[in-house]
Structure 1
Amino acid sequence: MATNIGMMDSAYFVGRNEILGWINDRLHLNLSRIEEVASGAVQCQMLDMTFPGVVPMHKVNFAAKNEYEMIQNYKVMQEVFTKLKITKPLEVNRLVKGRPLDNLEFLQWLKRFCDSINGGIMNENYNPVERRSRGGKEKSVKGSSKVSKSLQTNNTHHTPTVTASSKPTGPKQARSHAIGGGSNSSAEVQALSKELEDLKVSVDVLEKERDFYFSKLRDIEILCQTPELDDLPIVVAVKKILYATDANESALEEAQECLIESLGIEVEEEEGNEEEDEAGTQT
């Protein structure tokens, strides 16, 4: 069971589109952004599919929008991790912020983990839509507008949601929309579309840049694993940085201390050998 996966593992080279396709295919969803999984509900259901009966789906809130609601989902996930003896740390404070990179890295790990169970073979008897409707708070929020759009579009009957605050649509309302629309609405849509396209381009550039630097780090790791170089002080120092689990400066400081200590020992040995050679020549 692959629970500890190093940052240089191939799992972290899986792209955003592949991750979203994996989720949408297995859970019958229509997610288009990584941020949509920040609530932790999707991850809980992916574990529910991989380990039937382990996840208490009735505690999973698919309508979670606020951080305190999302945290409850991650508490459920942590309980599942404890049951399965998974040592992967859950950085809840970062995940609930909805930052794409943090959530993408966690999903990359989750995909690798789920694929390691039974060879990644899907449970054909698992009905994700039914599991979501029976478990979680999605069924209890009657007529709630909080249910995410991606989950609503995957409802088998496509039943429209009606809230208590909804107003009947009549001729007056339709007329007001017609008056309020027009060129302004069209210009706003075009501006938002352009902004969306710009954001997509930025994301693609960032992903390419990330993959570029990941590939270089992977090359360095392979070089450091060469048997002839494995015990060299500089290689040992580089490995300490590569395999550090905390994103702080302690790894660099530790590597520098290790390198300085190793180099100091080598200098002392060289000086000792020189003294022995001089003593030998004098005798």
Structure 2
Amino acid sequence: MGESRSDLLAWLNDLLQISYTKVEQCGTGAAYCQILDSIYLDVPMARVKMNAKHEYEFIANFKVMQNVFKAKRIDKPIPVDKLVKCKMQDNLEFLQWIKRFWDSNYGGHAYDAVARRRGQATDTPATIAPLAPTRGAGGAGLSAGAGRSGGKTPVSGHRSGSSAAMQHEQVLNLQAQLKEVSSHLEGLEKERDFYFAKLRDIEILVQQQLEALESAGSDDETLREIQKILYSTEDGFEVPEAGALPVDEEETF
């Protein structure tokens, strides 16, 4: 049996100097990242968004965590797709595992959590709320009004004005989030193109060297291995047939 939710939250809040009230809040990935930092003291906390509130921010935090797992050779799958949904059971099980991992690997050294995250705010909401107020609250008010007016719902006046204002605010919030997501995606695309260009340069250089060696009747096993890595694919991936993709999309890694 793992530790209880209350015990885990008490430990987590004391270690990281935060004030989480629910295990679900760990679904942002921020706390998991800093738990690892308390062990290794080298997690790039500047890249961890402690007050993340959107799923794409949670995923970015888990990407940092996955890099740490890879660098430290931690053989434990991270169910990111489940954890970012901020469900209690999934995060409770993972928090229990990471607490056991911490118990086995923490060296007992002093750890200044606030300094390590450079004073980042940690005002994660107590529950992961929807982006805008649900219809439930407004619907209750309308029902009460309908009862007092013989079952007729007002179609004009102050209540309609409030509804319009709320819808306008929802639209503005969604537009702001869309802009933020678009900016994030643009950054990822630039990063992808940057590394693709580097791989392409390496591919060309290796090919030129191999051709030169072949002309001289020689070979280089290291260059062959590099070329093999460049052209390798993941399991289940099939290289498209010629003509299946536009010319500028045929060469991918």
Give the structure-1-normalised TM-score. Answer: 0.42
State TM-score, norm by structure 2: 0.47
